[in-house]
Structure 1
Amino acid sequence: MGAKSFSDRIAEMNAMYRLPSHNKPALPNDIADQLKKFKEILFEEVSEIDEIVTAAESGATTLDIAVAIADLLGDIIVYCRSEALKYGLPLEEVLGIIMDSNESKLSADGTPMYDANGKFLKGPNYWKPESRIKELLESLSK
């Protein structure tokens, strides 16, 4: 028997910690409060970047900085994946749609374009992912 998938492990974690788990879109009545709590915890995680920056500026080793970044990104991904399961959102499929949308941002000649911060700029063939995400969620809600 092979290793468990990431999504299976998240489902087991949600069960272990008695967190909601849904296989189709489901929002609790207190969604606004839940989202505020999610935001607060996510901000706590993201604020760890300041500690990593300080370590980098203080001469921490490349390996120590890489470990801190890996832990930060991993924690955020686990937290977001668990949150998606709480709401019955198929995050892997949503990410596929978003990746397709990101790939549509290339310029007319197929080259990437960036802003001053390195963010992808939208080319002439760009399409927004929301309508396809909506179609996906509607198909799961039937």
Structure 2
Amino acid sequence: MYRLPQNAAPTIPADVADRLKKFKATLSDEVSEIDEIVASAEAGASQLDIAVAIADLLGDVIVYCRSEALKYGLPLEDVLGLIMDSNESKLGADGNPIYDANGKFLKGPNYWKPEPKIRELLQKLQTP
């Protein structure tokens, strides 16, 4: 619809550094809206108005991320699934979170990093 580049398989363009800088600037603009939401909350805005602003912010960030993933031919939903599975692997053997004495969340005995599985997924997509 917006004539943005799309790729069906993982693709890294020659101008990737420039694209990433522009993407960072776009996300930074969106994230700066948090300050406006905080100010409105501190000024006594209604809970509904605050919820609407937060939902809009989060939705915009997701839209920008999905758009960026399409440009690079990255299956964002599949990647998110792997990351969520990895996060769940941080739990203890009993399925509960593990905390140290300072309250820091620790990785459980079955934790695995998502990057190797993301690499495997992207390699499969590159194979004709």
Q: Same fold (TM over 0.5)?
A: yes
Give, in angstroms, the shift of residue 28 of structure 1. 0.9
Tell me which residue corresponds to 1:126. Answer: 111
Query: Does 2:34 match 1:49?
Result: yes
Give, in angstroms, the shift of residue 120 of structure 1. 5.0
Give the counterpart letter for 1:71 in structure 2: D
Tell me which residue corresponds to 2:62. Answer: 77
Give the counterpart letter for 2:57 in structure 1: L
Contiguous gaps of at least 5 residues in structure 1: 1-15
Give, in angstroms, the shift of residue 124 of structure 1. 2.1
Give, in angstroms, the shift of residue 108 of structure 1. 3.2
Tell me which residue corresponds to 1:88. Answer: 73
Tell me which residue corresponds to 1:60. Answer: 45
SS in 2 for 1:108: coil
SS in 2 for 1:47: helix
* Alignment root-mean-square deviation, CA: 1.7
Give the counterpart letter for 1:20 in structure 2: P
User: 1:141 and 1:104, CA in 2 relative to 1: closer, same or farther beyond 3 A?
Assistant: same
1: CA distance, partners of 2:104 / 2:45: 27
Tell me which residue corresponds to 2:2. Answer: 17
Give, in angstroms, the shift of residue 27 of structure 1. 1.1
Give, in angstroms, the shift of residue 121 of structure 1. 3.6
Tell me which residue corresponds to 1:40. Answer: 25
2: CA distance, partners of 1:35 / 1:105: 30
Residue 98 (structure 1) aligned to one of 67, 74, 83: 83
2: CA distance, partners of 1:62 / 1:20: 39
1: CA distance, partners of 2:43 / 2:112: 43
User: 1:119 and 1:78, CA in 2 relative to 1: closer, same or farther beyond 3 A?
Assistant: farther
User: 1:42 and 1:107, CA in 2 relative to 1: closer, same or farther beyond 3 A?
Assistant: same
Size of the alignment, in residue pairs?
Answer: 125
Identity over the aligned pairs, expressed in percent? 75
Contiguous gaps of at least 5 residues in structure 2: none
Query: Does 2:10 match 1:28?
Result: no
* Over 6 Å off, 4+ runs: none
